[in-house]
Amino acid sequence: MLLAVLLTVRMFCLAQAETGTNAAISRNLEIFNDIYKQLEIYYVDSLSADTVIGWGIRSMLRQVDPFTDYYPNENDEELRQMATGKYAGMGSIIRFSRKEDRAVISEPYEGTPSQRAGVRAGDVIMAVDGKDVKGMGTPKVSEMLRGEAGTTFELQVKRPGEKELRAFKITRETIQLPQVPYYGIVRAGVGYIFLTGFTDGASREVRQALLDLKSQGATSLVLDLRDNPGGALNEAVDITNLFVPKGRRVVETKGKLASTNREYNTAMEPVDTVMPVVVLVDGGSASSSEIVCGSLQDMDRAVIMGARTYGKGFVQMIRELPYGGNLKLTTSRYYIPSGRCIQAYDYRHLNEDGSVGTVPDSLTHVFHTAGGREVRDGGGIKPDVEVQPDSLPSFIYDLVESDAFFDFATRYAAAHPEIAPAGEFRLTDEEYGQFVQFVKDEGFSYNRRSDEVLKLLKSVARREGKWEDVEPEFAALEAKFRSDDTESDLLRFRKKVEPYINDEIVHRYYYQRGGVLQQLVDDPCMERALEILADPAKYRALLSGPQKP
């Protein structure tokens, strides 16, 4: 009898809660509808419903999480490219030049219509089909460059160092962005695969690369997932399947609705279940990248190396909307083989300043890999071997944000028909000196963070009545900081600056695949991976669970 009463009370409470929720929804939708009607009738200027309500929708979605987004009918191409990695266009990355106030070709993809037509990085876009693009942002220019496959347009550019404009007739094609822009043997017996994303076909590319490397004699592998933002969950499962047997659970999704609860198991015969594997990750490795590295870690199948991953444990799906729109929304969390969810950010409980908080390590929970090693949830994937990137002087970030590296590389490429192979290229001392002079001539300047901190300290010292006591020390400190200038900073930190300019130059000649090779030069994470793969005992020890008494 008591049980029946309790069940009745619980059902009544749930019904009340549901009624209250529905009432709140109806009330707020009615208010929103009336507000827009009042704006439409009484506001001083005419309004665009698509613009105003579109912003209202996006503002609402921003309160949920950054992965839930609305794509109106006119943006369905963007959503399709996100899912498939395909679009119709000329095949170039563009960037905006503040100096030119125009979009500039950043890099033509190798083998695409733009590259075959002779378009080069550094070409300033003047007009598309006769329409001047001065002042237009890159999204608008990119939209003009894209279109139906098979259609032709005229691209007019200004090439630095030339007086006459150049015009190219380009026929758009379906562009398939490569997911594996480079793979190869990096040391005797060691293969390397660089994976950029998880759109349709990524697992096929990785499988083909792995089989090719094995045929070339690779007996171990480095899989590079650094700065890989993820993508399709099924591609992550299939890539994991390359290294683990058929029938293993890779990931499980759990959501509010039963229809979103699902297990994903490996369904194919693997390529190699014993080859030593090191997976490189960093803070830019997210979503499907974390499913691959996390599941391989939980199965003790690979050594994970680098920096802690982003921590995206949410899964999105596409829901169709009226009038051809689409909603990409978070429907579930995913859980990797140990049972942990690695979601790091709590979007339902923001900090007082509106920022997103992360789960502190003290509140995470311990899980165990197949072999008994401790792993934790709530904060991305913590590598088995942590290799933190070198800290950079703040002025290098300002250089990257400026056009200095890009513009110098454009000038360098115009004066040098060919360079050393990717991975071997270096600027000579004389050429680096030319870069330093170029930066000075361009008037590059940056805000020293030390000046801001000193100014704050001086203010605090005055408020606390200590200024007279510390003024001489401050004067000496300021003189020390100001003794440096841009030239001396560039010379002092050449070792940290030069990789950026080398990478930009190499892209001009060897495109994306060459850029990958160049970035491996003096890469501490890669060097450590090779060191571990060369020591089988150390590799096995990293994957071994706690010793049993």
Q: What is the mean pLDDT of each run of 10 residues along the chain (549 residues)?
A: 45 54 87 91 90 89 89 77 83 93 95 96 96 95 93 96 95 92 96 96 97 98 97 96 97 94 96 98 97 98 97 93 90 96 86 76 90 93 92 86 93 95 96 95 76 75 78 72 74 93 96 95 96 97 74
For 299-335, what is each residue's pLDDT tens digit? 999 999 999 999 999 999 999 989 888 999 999 999 9
Active-site residue, selected from the candidate residues 106, 287, 295, 338: 287
Q: What is the pLDDT of residue 6?
A: 41
The active-site residue out of 114, 295, 312, 328 is: 312
What is the C-alpha separation between 70 and 324, in angstroms, rounded?
A: 11
Give the whole-angstrom CA distance, residue 183 versus residue 146: 29
- Which phi and psi angles does 73 have, rounded to 5°? -50, -40
Give a yes or no: residue 58 inside a domain: no
Helix boundaries (H) for 63-174? 76-84, 113-117, 138-145
Q: Could you confirm whether 134 is annotated as catalytic?
A: no
Q: Catalytic site residue 298?
A: yes
The answer to whether residue 303 is domain-embedded is yes
Do both 525 and 499 map to the same domain? yes
Q: Please state the three-class secondary structure of 461-496 as a single string.
A: HHHCCCHHHHHHHHHHHHHHHHCCCHHHHHHHCHHH
3-state secondary structure of 508: helix
Give how many domains the chain has, as a whole number.
3
Q: Are β-strands 190-194 and 220-224 bridged in parallel, bridged antiparallel, or unpaired?
A: parallel
Structural domain includes residue 459: yes
pLDDT computed for residue 22 by the predictor: 83
With tokens 């094609």, the residue in question is 173
Report the alpha-carbon distance of residue 443 to residue 463 in Å, rounded.
37
Task: Tell whether 213 and 353 lie within a shared domain.
Answer: yes
pLDDT of residue 479: 67
39 inside domain: no
CB 79 within 8 A of CB 71: yes
Token pair in block for residue 214: 């094995």
Rounded CA separation 311/341 (Å): 9
Give residue 392's pLDDT: 85
**What pLDDT is attached to residue 447?**
67
Residue 418 phi, psi (nearest 5): -150, 160
Regarding whether 236 and 129 lie in a shared domain, the answer is no
Q: Report pLDDT for 394.
A: 82
Q: Give pLDDT, residue 12.
A: 47
Q: What is the CATH number of the domain that holds 124?
A: 2.30.42.10
User: Cα separation of 170 and 157, whole Å?
Assistant: 13
Whether residue 206 is contained in a domain is answered as yes
Residues 6 or more apart in contact with residue 504 via CB below 8 angstroms: 405, 406, 408, 409
Residues 6+ apart with CB under 8 A from 427: 435, 498, 501, 502, 505
In the residue annotation, 26 being an active-site residue is answered as no
Identify whether 74 is part of a domain: no
Query: Is 105:116 a contact under the CB 8 Å cutoff?
Result: no
* Beta-carbon count within 10 A of 36 CB: 16
Residue finishing a domain among 176, 201, 230? 176
Helices (H), 391-523: 394-401, 404-415, 429-441, 449-463, 467-482, 486-492, 494-519
Does 108 fall in a domain? yes
* Domain containing residue 148: 86-176
Q: What is the pLDDT of residue 296?
A: 98
Residue from 69, 282, 298, 403 carrying the catalytic annotation: 298
| Residue 322 in domain | no
255/400 same-domain check? no
The CA-based diameter of the chain, rounded to the nearest angstrom, is 94
Residues 303 and 532: their CA atoms lie apart, in Å, by: 9
User: What is the pLDDT at residue 21?
Assistant: 74
Q: Are residues 540 and 439 in the same domain?
A: yes
